[in-house]
Amino acid sequence: MKSSGRRPLRVSRWSRVPKWENFIQRWERSIRLKGMSGTRSGNLNELWHAILPTVKHVEDWPICFGAVTGDKGNAVVGRVIGIDLGTTNSCVAVVEDGQPVVIPNSGGYKITPSVFAITTHGEQLVGYPAKRQTITNASNTVFAAKRLIGRRFASAEVQRSAELYPYEIVEGPNEDPRIRITDRTFSCAEVSGIILREMKRVAEEYLGESVESAVITVPAYFNDTQRQSTRDAGRIAGLDVLRIINEPAAAALAYGMGRDVDEKIAIYDLGGGTFDMSILEMSDGVVEVLATAGDTFLGGEDFDRRIVEYLLAGFQEEHGIDLRSDSTAMQRLKDAAEKAKCTLSLRERAEINLPFIASDGDGARHLTCEITRDEFESLVEDIVEQTLKSVELCVRDADLSMKDIDHVVVVGGQTRMPMVQQAVTDYFQQRPHKGVNPDEVVALGAAIQGSALVGGTEDVLLLDVTPLSLGISTYGGHFARLIDRNTTVPVNKSHIFTTTRDDQAAVKIRVLQGENETALENDLLGEFVLAGIPPAPKGEPEIEVGFDIDSSGIVSVSARDMATGMQQSITVNSKSTLSAEELELIIEENALSDVEFKR
């Protein structure tokens, strides 16, 4: 199939709803004050078209706008929590009396380790109890599952993780990575669902009531498959996921709470396993993402790993013993590396003492060494530089200069490292804003968005973007973009394509996401066939392919033969995600282990 060269025929139409007049009027006014040349969409009609999907039901509108009509029949019942599902730690928040608050767990901690384990007695542990037994039960303790979710087993990222992690990673029936601990095999969505269920329990214990609905955050650079898998994890946890929002956008919502100013802010988000960079504009209650970039396999785990490699090399040089094959020793090293990294954010040097780390014919061997901040910084200098490449791309895509950015906000625990803060300061020529807690700000923003979706927080309108371009494979193996990266969502766009052979009766639509001009180099999200095309010379049939991305970044695609009206459509569901049947089975199994909350 190839492009016919004709432009899209479909234009979405919409009508105003009284309860949302204030949002529309205020946003429209802010656009006109900036001048039409200041908008990226060229004219107001195109801008609305970029924001608003084709709405078939009035109940779809609240999710698009972050507000509700007030109709009790369509309103979401109960509290909506915001969950930051992190690689290393997770956090849950809720809005109370108009203010977002982080909910502490039963131990009084505001963050919970994203760790899941099964003991030798078959007991399932989540959070701190799971983390505390990591060293003694390394092969049955799962951490950093977020780095695997939504990926293919054969991907370089999964294969590298399989080499490094003490637990077993195997190939699943959908070419996805699965995690095998004890005698059970879990999908990555299921492990994340277990973490989310723990956050749900923490919220219910604090609020004294059942919680059914949530807004969950993901890295801005997550692709459609990773977003779908995160939504599946929410369902496994027993949650109605009202919206998936990007972590930098959530941080901006929390940062902007109560700030009645017009400004452009940069969010530098370096977490445990992922890195995001976003630039947003805040004006009169509207938070609009201008551009985003990042790396879904770069984060604090990589900083830890550099210290581990440093310790391994030093121990092997001194004692002639390679510890890589000893899972218990490796977990002790990882734990010590993380503690040393945190110490070096506060002090100039850190001591590492691991007695009885190994033994040989001469008896027990101990690992004792000191690492300085300068040594650590030299080990990770290239990782920090890699984040700045994404920063540069994001600033370029936003079409801004350094003087246009009013504030820089750093998010994620790894941003506590002095070298990272200095790199951000040097690049943006200003020191990062200190008014937010990097561990909590994302969950707070998710809670604000959740409250807005049920009318609890007024005057909040979040306009996010799709991080990667979307399109289809065309004749010759080319990638035809229909939606460019950094397009505001929700959005729908269509384009006319045609056949490449005489009397071609069917076309296969291969849905791709990525930036490479060659189709095979991009991620395949899904494929389907449009059949029943009447016989005709090549190039004559007109086939309209339409893309629809909702406010959570979930993709739907349709194809229609313009002559016959024959149509096929799918909500993109990558082969590497759970099938509908498997998802329902997992939900049922997890429901059996839940207990109903009673007041």
The 10 Å Cβ neighbour count of residue 351 is: 11
Question: Helices (DSSP H) in 238-279: which residue ranges?
Answer: 247-256
Q: Which of 271, 293, 276 has its CA nearest to residue 417?
A: 271
Write down the residue that tokens 């992190």 correspond to. Answer: 86
Supply the DSSP symbol for 433. Answer: B
- Extended beta strands in 491-571, E state: 491-498, 506-513, 523-531, 543-549, 555-561, 567-571
Cα–Cα separations (whole angstroms), residue 90 to 124, 157, 556: 18, 22, 29
Of 176, 232, 247, 281, the catalytic one is 247
Cβ atoms of 365 and 320 closer than 8 Å? no
| Catalytic residue list contains 146 | yes
In the numeric block, which tokens belong to residue 249? 């956008």
Cα–Cα separations (whole angstroms), residue 455 to 106, 200, 261, 384, 449: 29, 21, 23, 41, 10
| Catalytic residue list contains 406 | no
Of 269, 276, 548, 561, the catalytic one is 269
Give Cβ neighbours of residue 291 (< 8 Å, ≥ 6 apart). 278, 279, 394, 395, 397, 398, 465, 486
**Dihedral, CA of residue 96, residue 101, residue 106 and residue 110, to nearest 10:** 170
Cα–Cα separations (whole angstroms), residue 361 to 311, 355, 356, 357, 576: 22, 17, 14, 14, 48
Write down the residue that tokens 């901690």 correspond to. Answer: 109
Give Cβ neighbours of residue 426 (< 8 Å, ≥ 6 apart). none
User: In angstroms, how far is CA 427 from the centroid of its own chain?
Assistant: 25
Cβ atoms of 57 and 170 closer than 8 Å? no
3 state DSSP class of 163: helix
| Catalytic residue list contains 97 | no
Phi, psi for residue 357 in degrees, rounded to 5: -75, -25
Of 84, 304, 464, 561, the catalytic one is 84
Residues forming the active site = 84, 146, 247, 269
